[in-house]
Chain A
């Protein structure tokens, strides 16, 4: 099961682009990479998921290099409401089962 490592916290200002990198050195061939956002006293909210290269949706982009040992979540033009904890998750999906283990997450503070 791939272990993930992220920075404990990051600070930013409103309107800036924020990039959070996650390290997952022992990612397996079938593992997907998923990022979640969590506010206090709420369940994690799905942000974006990818397997390789780049994925973009309406709220974020996910960059995954060729070796897949890391991934970077990019949040364009953050606002105060983006202050939250962000988790990257590496999960296997296949006949062997499906399990996810959360890392410590990154606490993002967006300042005015």
Chain B
């Protein structure tokens, strides 16, 4: 199946710093990618839809200035958590939509962010 690579797998940072997470579709082009957030023992919560070459669409309650999304190419989307605080600590997951006759959604392996 298609592969979506997410990097880093985990990151620890100090409060006030910014963290960038990368999401790459390795063997297909993805005009649309999605970013999710997941707390322990809870389901995935959609944060935003990342569209190649245009501004991301954020879900209600998600601060666009806090979570910066860039989708500069058909294979790469990045999520930057700006001025991170301990409450931003969470598991972040990206997904990419493959296109064509057999359209599917594939997920990255996730990034565990811990803000001290």
Contacts and interface: CB of A to CB of B under 8 A. Distances in A.
Interface of A: 32, 34, 36, 41-46, 49, 87, 89, 91, 93, 97-105
B54 to A, nearest CB: 12
B104 A44 contact: no
B93 A44 contact: yes
A43 B105 CA distance: 12
A46 B105 contact: yes
Interface of B: 1, 4, 6, 32, 34, 36, 43-46, 49, 91, 93-95, 97, 103-110, 112
B43 A43 contact: no
A49 B104 contact: yes
A102 B93 CA distance: 13
A46 B43 contact: no
A100 B104 contact: no
A57 B33 CA distance: 26
A2 to B, nearest CB: 14
Given A44-B44, A49-B104, A87-B43, A98 B97 contact: yes
A104 B38 CA distance: 11
A90 B97 CA distance: 14
A45 B97 CA distance: 13
Given A93-B103, A98-B32, A98-B97, A43 B108 contact: yes
A102 B46 contact: yes
Contacts of A36: 107
A104 B43 contact: yes
Contacts of B4: 43
B43 A102 contact: yes
A44 B107 contact: yes
A102 B43 CA distance: 7
Contacts of A104: 43
A101 B107 contact: no
A22 B53 CA distance: 36
B108 A101 contact: no
A43 B6 contact: yes
A3 to B, nearest CB: 12
